[in-house]
Structure 1
Amino acid sequence: MGARMLTNVKHAVGRYIANAVLPNGLYCFNYHRIGEASLTEYDPNVFSCDEANFSEHMEYIKQHFTIITLDDISIILNGKIRDKRYALITFDDGYIDNYTKAFPILLENKISATFFLATNFMNNAEIPWWDRIAYLVRHAQVDEIKLNNWPDSITLSKEDVPTSIRKVLDVVKINNGSTIEEILIELEQKLQIPDSKLMDQEPLFMTWDMAREMSAAGMEFGSQTCSHRIMSHLRIEEQDYEAKTSKELIEKELNTSIKAFAYPVGGKDSFTPETVKIIKKYYQISFSFISGINTSKNLDEFCIERISVDSNCNATQLSHKLLKLLLRKVHKSVWK
C-alpha cells in the first residue's frame, strides 16, 4: 500500500470515528478570513482556510450536523441542547473576503452564517490594530524587539514571519498597562520602520452595502464592539460604550435587531465578570473564543464556546480537531 493511499485510509478511518462518537450538543464553528494567507501584507494567522477547504467544510457540516441560526439558539439552550448535533457557523471581524469568498459558498449550500462586526472597520474606515502590528513586524529593520513593559525580548525571523507576528501579538494581548495606541507608536520606533504609512492595498473590510445584501439573503449579524479592543483592557465606561454604540450602529445600518455579541480576542482573560454584566444589558447571548463543544444543559449563554477553524485544514482534519476537543472534554470531566 502506497504512502498516499495509507494516508487516505487513515483520514477516512479518523473521520468515521469522529462522526461516530461525537456527542449531541452545540458546535459553533468560528472563521475569520477566507483566502490565501501567503498573499497578505498583514496578519496571515487570521486566515481560517481557502475557498476550496471552506466549501468542503460546509458540505461536511451539512452532512453530519443540524445547522441552526441565532434564532434557534434560545430554543436549544432551553433544555434541548442534547437533542441533536447542532452547528452554528460564525465569522469574526467582518473582513471583505467574508463577502467576496465565503458568502457565495454559503448561498450555494443554503447555509445561514452569523457575522460579528467591529464597526470601526466597516467601509474600510481603519486598519485593525493586529493587522497594523503584523505589517510593522513584517517590515521590521531589526532582528529583535522588546517594548518597555515586556518581560522578555522576542527574536524576529525573516524565514518564518507568521510565527514572529504571532509571538508579538501574543504578548500584546496580555494586559501590561499600555494601550494599543501606545504599543503601535513604540513598535514603529523600535522596529525602525522606514515609512510608517501602511501600504495602500485592496480594502480589507466589507462595506455596509455588502452587509445589507448579505442580511437580505438570510445572513445574520452580531457585534464585536467598535474598535475590537480587548474588553478586559478597557475601563468600565469604555466597555459600555463599545458594546452599546456598536449595537446601535449595526441596527441602524442593517435595519434589524442585534441580539448576539462576540468578545474581541475572546480568551478567558479577555473579558471579566464586569464585562459580562455590561453585555447582558444590551444582548441576549454572547460568544467567547474559548475552544470547546457545548453540551451542558446548564450552559452559560454569555460564554458560549466556539471551535476555531484555522491552519487551512480540510474537512477530515476538521473532524480530527473535533475528536481532540471531545477527548480533552472527557479527560477534564474524569479528573475533576
Structure 2
Amino acid sequence: MIKNILRKMKHCIQDTGTKGYVLMLHRVSEIDSNGIFMNENMKVSPKFLEDFILKYKEKYDFISSTEINDRLKNKSKKKFIVFTMDDGYLDNYTNAFPIFKKYNVPFTIFVASDFPNMKCFLWWHILGDMILQKDYLRLSDGSIYTCATLEAKNLVFEQFRSKILLLNHDKFITEFCSLFGVDFPELQIFNAKYCMSWENIFELYKNSLVTIGAHTAHHANLRAMETENDVEEEIIEGVKELEKHIPDYKKSVFAYPFGSPFEIGKREIAIAEKIGFVSAFLGYGRGVKEKNNHWAFPRIALTENFDFSILK
C-alpha cells in the first residue's frame, strides 16, 4: 500500500504543468504468451488499442504530433494525447490503421527507411526465433547458452541484446552473423514478414489522419556514431528516402531510434533542430510540458502492462 501511495505521489509531482502525453507504440498484434518477452512487449493487441481509445476519447483531445507546438501555446485546460508508432511495422497498416480510422484518431508513424526498402536487419526478431527454436545456443566464440525453458530463453535474449548493442556500427551485420553463425541473405525473409511496403506507406500518407515522420535510414544508434556529420547523414538519408517514395513529402517530425539516454544526447538533439524538423521525440519520459525542448519531447511506452495512473 505504501509503495502504491509513493508511486502515485511521484506521478502527481511529475504531472505538474503537464499539457498532454505522447504515447509510443511499435506494433499492434496479438500477444504470444510463449514468445520472447522483450519482443512481445513491443506490441499491444488490437483489442487493447481499441479499448484504450474508447476509455480516453472523451477525457482527452487526440491530436497529431504536428499540432503539439501550437497546443502548448494555447490556454486549453483539456489535456491531449498523441499516438506515435516507431519503425514501420506491417501491422501498423493492417491492424492499427483500421482502428484509428474507425474512431477518427490521428496518429504518426516514424519510418526508418530500411523497413520499406526491405533492408532492415531485424536482429531482435532473428535472435528471438533462434532462441525459441533451440534448447541451447553455441556461439562462434565457443560460449554455450542453455535456453530450454521460456524463463531461460528470456534471460539469454536479454544477455545477447546487451552484447549486440555494443557491436561495431559499421560492421554490425557482419559481426552479428559471425557471432551467431547465420547467413544474412537468408535472414531477409523477416523483412517481408514484418515491414510495411512503400505502397502501404503512401496509402497511409494520403489519409489526413496519418503523419509520416522520419526515423533515420538504418535505425542506428546515433550516439554511438563518431562524428556529427555521421549522425546528420544518417538522419538526412532517411528523409531523402521518404521524399523519393512519397510525392510532395515534406519533413516535419522525427523520432530518435531507441530513444533512451544511451542513444540520444545533446549532440543528437542539436542536429535534429539544425536539420529543420518541427519537433523531435525521445523514447522515454512522462508528460509534455510547455518548457520542454521541442526537439526532445518525452514519450511514454504504451504496452499491455501500461500503468494507467500515469495519465491524469
Q: TM-score, normalised by structure 1?
A: 0.75
In structure 1, the residue matched to 2:294 is 301
2:173, 2:200 → 1: CA distance? 29
Instruction: Give 3-state SS (helix, strand or coil) of 1:38's partner.
Output: coil
* Aligned mate of 2:205, from 190, 200, 215: 215
In structure 2, the residue matched to 1:68 is 63
44-53 vs 162-171, which moves further: 162-171
Distance 1:50 1:136, change over 3 A: same
In structure 1, the residue matched to 2:150 is 159
2:97, 2:202 → 1: CA distance? 12
Identity, % of aligned positions: 18
Q: Give unpaired runs (5+ residues) of structure 1.
A: 1-17, 327-336
Tell me if 1:319 matches 2:311.
no
2:154, 2:59 → 1: CA distance? 33
CA deviation string 1:46-83 (max 9, x = no partner): 53211111111121231221111133122123365x74
2:184, 2:282 → 1: CA distance? 36
* Aligned mate of 1:292, from 280, 283, 286: 286
Instruction: Give 3-state SS (helix, strand or coil) of 1:90's partner.
Output: strand
Pairwise CA distance, 1:135: 3.2
Tell me if 1:239 matches 2:227.
no
2:145, 2:183 → 1: CA distance? 20
* Aligned mate of 2:39, from 35, 44, 50: 44
Distance 1:163 1:66, change over 3 A: farther
111-120 vs 121-130, which moves further: 121-130
The question of whether the paired residues in 2 share the 8 Å contact of 1:65 and 1:85 is answered with yes
Tell me if 1:230 matches 2:221.
yes
* Aligned mate of 2:273, from 273, 280, 294: 280
Letter in structure 2 aligned against 1:208: W
Q: How many residues align?
A: 294
CA deviation string 1:120-148 (max 9, x = no partner): 11053444233233334334563576979
Equivalent residue runs for 1:75-114 within 5 Å: 75-78=70-73, 80=75, 83-114=77-108
Pairwise CA distance, 1:281: 2.1
Letter in structure 1 aligned against 2:176: L
Pairwise CA distance, 1:187: 2.9
- Measured on the aligned residues, the alpha-carbon RMSD in Å equals 3.5
Q: TM-score, normalised by structure 2?
A: 0.80
Tell me if 1:263 matches 2:253.
no
Pairwise CA distance, 1:96: 0.3
Q: Give unpaired runs (5+ residues) of structure 2.
A: 1-10
* Aligned mate of 1:198, from 167, 182, 187: 187
Pairwise CA distance, 1:28: 0.4
The question of whether the paired residues in 1 share the 8 Å contact of 2:15 and 2:287 is answered with no
